[in-house]
Amino acid sequence: MRLIGSERFSRHQPPDGHPEQPARARVMADVSHRWVEAGGLLTPPRVATRDELTRLHSPSYVDRIEKTAGRQLQHDPDTYTSPDSYDVARLAAGAAIAAVEYTLAEGTAAVAFVRPPGHHAEADRAMGFCLFNNVAVAAASARAAGLDRVAVIDYDVHHGNGTQWMFYDDPTVLYVSLHQYPFYPGTGAVNDVGRSNGLGCTLNIPLQAGAGDADYDRAMRELVEPVVTAFDPELILLSAGYDAHIQDPLGGMELSTEGYTAMTAHVQRLAARCCGNRMAVVTEGGYDLSALESCLDSTLQQLAGRPAGMGSPLRGDTRRIDEVIPAVKRAHALYWPGVLS
């Protein structure tokens, strides 16, 4: 397994007190150093090229972000650029692309520790702390390399509106999101299933605030695993947001580090089953530093081992998922007959 990271990610500097703080990059660097000390591989990222960014982002939008270089600007109530943010955002997108390149070449998982996060960024809009959509750009890179089917699984507490809209009518990219709902950014309803040729290729699993390990585990077993297996991707990308952790100050979920590890293990098994272990993990949110550190450590340890068997379902209250599962099945009955039964 290969880790991609750099201390340069600390150079993106929103105002003091902003949740997406440079200290997150220092946590990533600390975890990376321990990984290397234990014998793991760490590779520096490269920057994404303009051609790679404009596969999905509009050229005029890339130009606008480039013109922020050297300045401190506010793009919406939550999203800022500092003098080095353009370069750092290109580095984050490039790291995600590099993770795809490594997993395709080596047949083992690759993990990119990046910031700023990306899944809220739309084709021509920065929002939700995000400048370029790292995972979406990486998925487009995989398609450009010749892959016919790519799955993106997103377990950030917030719905990845940018990723959804970029592939909403695309049958070659399956987007799966488990997120708190209703919540920022207001998208991700169960009936948002795709459009035109992409109908059925957006699987939204909106969860009530307070959902915990057992809720997410049931969603993975009963919804995510059957649909992803039937889609049969050649690559899985994981938008790894750790802000559904019970300690996170922005989310309202109750996932533990162990619950996150179990979800990562589900995705790892899917990658082993469907695509020869080709799996790229790209970080998204996660704003409690201690929870972020524990989740990053556990993700690396899980992916460094062999995929385990399914194991027993996690125990706990699942009332928050009880109504969601049949609603998702009804919404997708036409698109996944016999899969979600």
Catalytic residues: 120
> In the 3-class helix/strand/coil scheme, how is the chain assigned residue by residue?
CEEECCHHHHHCCCCCCCCCCCHHHHHHHHHHHHHHHCCCEEECCCCCCHHHHCCCCCHHHHHHHHCCCCCCEECCCCCEECCCHHHHHHHHHHHHHHHHHHHHHHCCCEEECCCCCCCCCECCECECCECCCHHHHHHHHHHHCCCCCEEEEECCCCCCHHHHHHCCCCCCEEEEEEEECCCCCCCCCCCCCCCHHHCCCEEEEEECCCCEHHHHHHHHHHHHHHHHHHHCCCEEEEEECCCCECCCCCCCCEECHHHHHHHHHHHHHHHHHHHCCCEEEEECCCCCHHHHHHHHHHHHHHHHCCCCCCCCCCCCCCHHHHCHHHHHHHHCCCCCCCCCC
What size, in residues, is the chain?
Answer: 341
Closest to 157 in 3D by CA, of 221, 250, 88, 32: 250
Both structure tokens of 79: 């999203």
Whole-Å CA distances, 255 to 157, 261, 323 = 10, 10, 19
β-bridge partners, 152: 175, 237
CB–CB of 235/100 below 8 Å?
Answer: yes
